[in-house]
Amino acid sequence: MNVDETENHHSSIGLIFDCDGTLADTMPLHFIAWRDALGKHDLAFDENRFYSMAGQPTVKIIRTLLDEQSRTGDAEAIARQKELAFLNVLPQVQPIKPVVEIARRYRATNRMGVGSGSDRDVVLKVLNHIGLDSFFDAVVGAEDTAHHKPEPDVFLEVAKRIKIRPEQCRVYEDADLGIEAARRAGMSWFDVRTIHTPRRIT
């Protein structure tokens, strides 16, 4: 589907947006924050792997890396360091304009929500920074579901909160795990990577 086809939406369609890399151009800045935080603990995490794991909670990614690299560490503490490093560069975050335009266009007519693998507090700070904090009927973060992308729980929870049946929802996503989550939720989806390519750091 191209962006123009969203003109065919009617008000019974629920629109669900991922945040990082979908509404906000945060992924390069998240990677820099990851590199800074993990470097202090001598943990390797290359940029391709970073993108392949997009949509998973920070703590879950750290636990995976610790396990794979046979290291011990306090995953929660490292996660806090990573999120703090990201919040320090939050003023640099820009909106992804074509996706934000979709949200603007349907704000008055359609119920909309955000479903993210990031902590809800961080998502709310990003939405506030790019001026979208009042746009959504629900914001669901990592702490709001037991299972995370590619499991469908996050998007199903958004659908429940915006009171739209899953099959009547369209998801906007920039990551393979998120698109798989939308598919498992029985929702249609739009791959934001077809209209936006994030800047690479390495």
Neighbours of 44 (CB within 10 A): 12
Contact 123, 114 (CB under 8 A): yes
Predicted pLDDT of residue 3: 44
**Which two structure tokens, joined as six digits, stand for 149?**
């992308």
Predicted pLDDT of residue 10: 64
What 3-state class would DSSP assign to 16? strand
The amino acid at 161: R
Neighbours of 186 (CB within 10 A): 15
- Which domains, from first to last, does the chain contain? 3-26+93-194 (3.40.50.1000), 27-91 (1.10.150.240)
pLDDT one digit per residue (tens) for the chain, 202 residues = 444 444 445 678 999 999 999 999 999 999 999 999 999 999 999 999 999 999 999 999 999 999 999 999 999 999 999 999 999 999 999 999 999 999 999 999 999 999 999 999 999 999 999 999 999 999 999 999 999 999 999 999 999 999 999 999 999 999 999 999 999 999 999 999 999 999 999 8
What 3-state class would DSSP assign to 104? helix
3-state secondary structure 34-51: HHHHHHCCCCCCCHHHHH
Predicted pLDDT of residue 40: 94
Predicted pLDDT of residue 61: 97
- Phi, psi for residue 102 in degrees, rounded to 5: -60, -45
> In angstroms, how far is CA 20 from the centroid of its own chain?
4
Predicted pLDDT of residue 2: 40
Predicted pLDDT of residue 12: 86
User: Which amino acids are annotated catalytic?
Assistant: 18
Q: How far apart are CA 157 and CA 50, in angstroms?
A: 25
> Is cis: bond before 28, omega within 30 of 0?
no
